[in-house]
Amino acid sequence: MIRLLIVEDSALMRKLLGQIFVAEGDFEVEFARNGTEALNIIQTFKPDVVTLDIHMPSMDGLTCLDRIMLEHPCPVVMVSSLTEEGAEETLAALEIGAVDFIAKPSGAISLKMDELAPPLVEKVRLAAAVRIRRSRRLAERVRMAQGGVPVVRRPVAGPSPGASSVPGLVLIGTSTGGPPALDAVLSRLPADFPWPVVVAQHMPGSFTGPLARRLDKICPMTVTEVTGQTRLTAGNIYIARGDADILVSKRGGSLVAMVAPESPAYRWHPSVERLVQSALKHVPPGDLIGVMMTGMGNDGAAAMAELKASGGRTIAEAEETAVVWGMPGELVRLNGASVIRPLNEIGDHLVGWIG
C-alpha cells in the first residue's frame, strides 16, 4: 500500500481527491486541513507521498513544504491553480523541493475530476517512488557545490544585420523536476555562450512565461518564452510555450523558433521529440547538441538517439542527480547518449564542448 497524505483546506476537494485514490485500491489515505495539522500527522503516519495545496489558513503550502523538506523529507506533489500567481508559487515550491505539481482545473471542480484523476494518480505514484535526499533544494545544493554562479547578466551584442545563421544549437528536454534542474544548468552558461539554447519543459501554458522570467533573473544569458516566430541568436535561451509545441525552422536564411499547436501524435507537450525532429531538418547534426534531463516517460529519447547516430552530440543527466530517470534513462537505453553527466557538470560540459 502507498501511504498518501492529502493536505487541503477545502472539504469538498479533500473528499474528491480521497475518492480518486481510494478507488485505486492500493492507497492508504489520510487527510490534513492545513500545514500545521499536516506536520503533526506526518510524524506518526509517515506518508510515502504528500499532495499539498498552496493556499491554506494557519500555515500556507510553501511554508509547510519548507518544514517537510527540513524535518521529514518525503516526496511532495503540489496542487496549484492555473493562474500566473499559482505558477510563481509552484515554481518556488519546486525550487524548495517538491517533486511535481498538478494544476487544478478552473470552474466547477467536481465536474472536471474525471479529467484530473489520471494525470494526478500517475504523478503521485511516480512521486512515491522518488528517493528524497534530506533538504533536497536541488538548485541551491548545486550552486553551493560549484562555489556559486553568476546571477548578474551582462548584455551581449546582438547579431549583425547581415548575419544569416548561428554556429549551432543546443536543444534541452525535461519534465518532472525540470525547473530547478534548468536553473542549475542554464545559470552556468556565460553571457557570451555562442549557441542559442531552446528548451522544451513539459508545463501548462500559464507556467512557462513565469518560468522564463524566473530563469532570466539568475542566468547570464537572456531567457525568454517563445510566443511567436522568433529568430534564434547567440546569448539567448528560448523557453517553449506550454500547451503547444515548438519547432525549429528557417526563414530568410536564419534559424527561427516557431509555436505550433499540440500534435496528437505526441503524448507530452511541449514535445521534446518534435523539437529535435524539426531541428534535424534544418541544422546539420554536427551543429546540434541534445541535452536530456530529469523527467518521466520517454519524450525525445528516440529523436536524440537519431541525432547522435547522425553525428550530433548528446548529454543524458546521470541517474544519481535526476529526480526521475525516465527520459534520460531511456536515451541511455537506446544508446543515444554521447556522455552521461551529473547535473552539476552539464553546464560546464556544454561550455567545454562549444568553447
Task: Report the distance separating Cα 185 and Cα 344, nearest Å.
Answer: 7
Same domain, 232 and 118: no
Task: Report the distance separating Cα 175 and Cα 130, nearest Å.
Answer: 14
Same domain, 202 and 322: yes
- CATH number for the domain harbouring residue 52: 3.40.50.2300
Task: Report the distance separating Cα 192 and Cα 86, nearest Å.
Answer: 33
Same domain, 82 and 204: no
Same domain, 104 and 152: no
Each residue's pLDDT tens digit in the chain (355 positions)?
999 999 999 999 899 999 999 999 999 999 999 999 999 999 999 999 999 999 888 898 999 999 999 999 999 999 987 777 789 999 999 999 999 999 876 666 666 788 889 999 999 999 999 987 654 444 454 444 444 444 444 444 444 443 446 899 999 999 999 999 999 999 999 999 999 999 999 999 999 999 999 999 999 999 999 999 999 999 999 999 999 999 999 998 899 999 999 999 999 999 999 999 999 999 999 999 999 999 999 999 999 999 999 999 999 999 999 999 999 999 999 999 999 999 999 999 999 999 6
Task: Report the distance separating Cα 347 and Cα 149, nearest Å.
Answer: 11
Residue 128 C-alpha cell reads as 512515491
pLDDT of residue 109: 66
List all residues 6 or more positions away from 237 whose beta carbon is below 8 Å from its beta carbon: 186, 189, 196, 197, 198, 199, 215, 219, 221, 222, 223, 224
Residue 286: how many other CB atoms lie within 10 Å: 12
Domain boundary among 91, 114, 136: 136
CA distances (Å), origin 160, targets 157, 230, 234: 9, 16, 11
Domain boundary among 110, 136, 162: 136
Same domain, 245 and 165: yes
Residue with cell 492507497: 27
- Give the residue numbers annotated as catalytic, written as ranges: 175, 202, 299
Same domain, 149 and 208: yes
* Number of structural domains found in the chain: 2
Same domain, 107 and 184: no
pLDDT of residue 165: 63
DSSP string covering 282-349, please? HS-GGGEEEEE-SBSS-TTHHHHHHHHHTT-EEEEE-TTT-SSBSHHHHHHHTT--SEEE-HHHHHHH
Domain boundary among 87, 113, 136: 136
Task: Name the CA radius of gyration of the chain, rounded.
Answer: 20
| DSSP SS3 for 55 | coil
Same domain, 127 and 195: no
Residue 120 C-alpha cell reads as 494526478
Q: Give kind and range of the element (H or E) at residue 61.
A: helix 61-71
pLDDT of residue 58: 84
Same domain, 13 and 50: yes
Residue 255 C-alpha cell reads as 534559424
Same domain, 288 and 305: yes
Same domain, 125 and 222: no
Closest CA to 220 of 275, 269, 148: 148
Same domain, 206 and 64: no
pLDDT of residue 198: 98
pLDDT of residue 107: 62
Q: Are 32 and 72 in contact (CB under 8 A)?
A: no
pTM over 0.85: yes
| Domain limits for position 13 | 2-136
- CATH number for the domain harbouring residue 188: 3.40.50.180
Amino acid at 301: A
